[in-house]
Amino acid sequence: MPPAIELIGIDKRFGAVHANRSVTLAIERGTIHGIVGENGAGKSTLMSILYGFYEADAGEIRVNGQQERIRSPADAIRAGIGMVHQHFMLVEPLSVLDNVMLGAEGGALLRNGAARARAEMARLARDYGLVIDPDSVVGELSVGLQQRVEIIKALYRGADILILDEPTAVLTPAEADALFALLKALKAQGKTVILITHKLREIMAATDRVSVMRRGEMVTTLDTARTSPVELAELMVGRRVLFRIEKAPHAPGPPLLEVEELSVTDSRGVLRVDKVSFAVRAGEIVGIAGVAGNGQSELLEALAGMRRPAQGTIRLAGRTLAPAEHDPHRLRRLGLLHVPEDRLRTGLVASFPAFESAALGFTDDPAYGKGPFLDHRRMIADLERRMAAYDVRPPDPRLKTSKFSGGNQQKLVLAREIERGPQVLLVGQPTRGVDIGAIEFIHRRLLSLREAGVAILLVSVELEEIMSLSDRILTMCGGRITGERVSAGADERDLGLLMAGVEEAA
């Protein structure tokens, strides 16, 4: 039988960037096939070509042995290809049934289409364990169930080949285990799964074969059982990578950030952080673990001065902040700096040249000139030094921010905040969408700050990252702190229960 997917000589350029260089790949039917690579390696571009977001400049796509010209997602769906995006494509106010039917209503008589969709959802529940109430409102479901809706959508449209992009980024460990059990059930029924992930442990646990890309080229394809995370990392990066950075003994100083009974509401007045209290001491990393959407984002924004608390007290180095000081500019001057969760929405300006993005929040620095005119030469020279120190590629301060890969954009933000000598550093999702080589670099930087006596509050949906970096771990669910553990004795299952709101976990 021919492979489910054959990509032959796929080539794609975006101006001067050669994203895919004559890539050839075969994915066998009824397998789970992983694709790994550094940021900018070309794997997302390759999958975007397969799903019709882009059209290749050259090359051929074959699906089950038949040549296909895929120019849009509609073409991909007709060819039996479905995709579950990292950021879900759901309409939250609508029901599960409505979301499944959108774009596949089956004609003007919605009643007939709805009956057919209900029957198909019942079959998917029987065959694959995809059990979900069709009448549930999507916005009221957990993240894991929302992802299940996305998978049901793809299968309802007849997908035999399913692409998943970083599918566990927003899941608890238990939800991730459930997802991989589902993928194995799909495989057992003859479906083909393509898994894009930065988590090599998941590649080893879930896939049959794995392909490695580097700098737009296909390096190799291996049987997963015959490789290892160490070998895959070296193939991805081109050098040896340390997976777990050793920490110096924990010797914290006095509290530098203290939070008491802090509550935060969103723009609609909904309570997102509910009477949270904790402290972070000098030379300590406190990690907050939780599934996305449980108040971590609002907590970080409130501490950074981006959102006004509804109640509570914040102290920096023993000093209680007055309401007038609850402002990002003033907090920066008091030594509290912030690496935001969403680098493009709140950390950088994509249309700015890199040297301007790298100065955001510090344009009043006398080093950059006085009065209304900034000294661009000094700003460029400053960023050149930081680019060398943080291995930002390409090392071009004048290049537009949007032209850098996600990992290099993250390094621009980290360099800007860390090099200002913070007393307290708030870090949100430091390695989101970042490749394994950049992850190692970022972790080293954070630990060097810890050793220098900086108090670090770390928010990440990556539980392994929280456990590796943190000295103490707080778990959040529904806007509340549900538990605290010392990282040295932390257990992944225990933390997963706390993240799910089971406060009596031992």
Q: What Å distances lie between residue 457 and 24, 425, 450, 471, 473, CA to CA? A: 44, 6, 11, 11, 10
Task: Give the residue-averaged pLDDT of 304-319.
Answer: 95
Residue-averaged pLDDT of the chain: 89
Identify the top-confidence range among 388-392, 450-454, 497-501.
Answer: 450-454
Task: Give the residue-averaged pLDDT of 197-214.
Answer: 90
Question: Which position has the higher pLDDT, 317 or 506?
Answer: 317
- The domains located in the chain, with CATH, are 5-237 (3.40.50.300), 244-335+421-506 (3.40.50.300), 348-420 (no CATH)
Summarised one tens digit per residue, pLDDT across range 375-390 is 999 999 999 999 999 8
| % pLDDT > 70, the chain | 97
Task: Give the residue-averaged pLDDT of 298-303.
Answer: 96
Residue 279 pLDDT greater than 70, yes or no: yes
Residue 222 pLDDT greater than 90, yes or no: yes
pLDDT score at 505: 43
pLDDT score at 207: 95
Give the helix ranges, DSSP H, for 274-316: 296-303
- 433 band by pLDDT with thresholds 50, 70 and 90: low
Residue 145 pLDDT greater than 50, yes or no: yes
Residue 37 pLDDT greater than 50, yes or no: yes
**SS3 breakdown of the chain: % helix, strand, coil, rounded to 5?**
35, 25, 40
Helices (H) and strands (E) in the chain, counts: 16, 20
Task: Give the residue-averaged pLDDT of 369-377.
Answer: 84
Summarised one tens digit per residue, pLDDT across range 100-141 is 998 877 766 677 778 888 998 999 888 888 889 999 999 888
Amino acid letter for position 377: R
Residue 361 φ/ψ region, left for φ over 0, alpha for ψ in the -120 to 50 degree band, beta for the rest: left
Helix axes 436-451, 229-237, angle to 10 degrees: 100
Task: Give the residue-averaged pLDDT of 306-327.
Answer: 94
Residue 506 pLDDT greater than 60, yes or no: no
Task: Give the residue-averaged pLDDT of 343-362.
Answer: 92
Amino acid letter for position 435: D
**362-366, 392-396, 408-412: least confidently modelled range:** 392-396
Task: Give the residue-averaged pLDDT of 430-436.
Answer: 77
pLDDT score at 107: 65
pTM for the model stands at 0.70
**20-34, 72-86, 116-130, 163-177: least confidently modelled range:** 163-177
pLDDT score at 144: 81
| % pLDDT > 90, the chain | 59
pLDDT score at 369: 82
pLDDT score at 109: 65
